[in-house]
Chain A
Amino acid sequence: EAGVVQSPRYKIIEKKQPVAFWCNPISGHNTLYWYRQNLGQGPELLIRYENEEAVDDSQLPKDRFSAERLKGVDSTLKIQPAELGDSAVYLCASSLGGGSAYEQYFGPGTRLTVT
């Protein structure tokens, strides 16, 4: 069974440029998560989707970040414009459901460097 797929794996952009990350979750997983992981830190949740509905986006910096999950399958996370502080690894995860009992399966992440 294929795991969570993310692309690109690496991205280098100049500040003020836009950038987008793509995630395809494990087949059948209704819940999708986007995390940001800064160097030396644990992942921090940005947004959680239940099917196509964003049910928790309280940590998403909405002035520059946006996300969508059309048709409740794959998802895109966008930053516009990017700032130096956005340099991090952006992780996508999916789970069968949104309940606490479900473990999350993570993709390899996209390492973003903003110069």
Chain B
Amino acid sequence: AQKVTQAQTEISVVEKEDVTLDCVYETRDTTYYLFWYKQPPSGELVFLIRRNSFDEQNEISGRYSWNFQKSTSSFNFTITASQVVDSAVYFCALISGTYKYIFGTGTRLKVLA
């Protein structure tokens, strides 16, 4: 069975703080892909990153960074020096075997000025 767990329902931080969003996944497949999407209040999911199961290198893109650890089945997302514009719901998703996305329930991030 495939499953994505985002245990943090909602997180509030003050602007300029760092924040980490957790994602834990389950799959029996050895080949799979993990994604992070951002859903701002406008409702449109915006693609942030894709990782395949054979590439455990961490990635940094500006203030965003991702930590992929197969040993703990986690794919965590860190925002450094958060800004109000980062306020959104963030979804972690998994594809393995079929082409069907399995989304987590999302983490609502509120960045307060």
Contact = CB atoms under 8 A, between A and B. Distances in A.
Q: Is B one of A's binding partners?
A: yes
Interface of A: 3, 31, 40-45, 48, 56, 89, 91, 93, 98-101, 103-109, 111
Given A100-B32, A103-B35, A103-B47, A48 B99 contact: yes
Interface residues of B, number: 26
Given A91-B45, A103-B35, A108-B42, A45 B101 contact: yes
Contact of A42 (B42, B44, B52, B103): B103
B100 A109 contact: no
Contact of B33 (A40, A101, A111): A101
Contact of B100 (A48, A105, A107): A48
Interface SS of chain A: loop
Contacts of B4: 42
B99 to A, nearest CB: 5
A100 to B, nearest CB: 4
A56 B98 contact: yes
A3 B93 CA distance: 21
A99 to B, nearest CB: 7
A44 B42 contact: no
Nearest to B102: A42
6 contacts: A43-B91, A44-B103, A56-B100, A89-B43, A100-B95, A103-B35
A87 B91 CA distance: 21
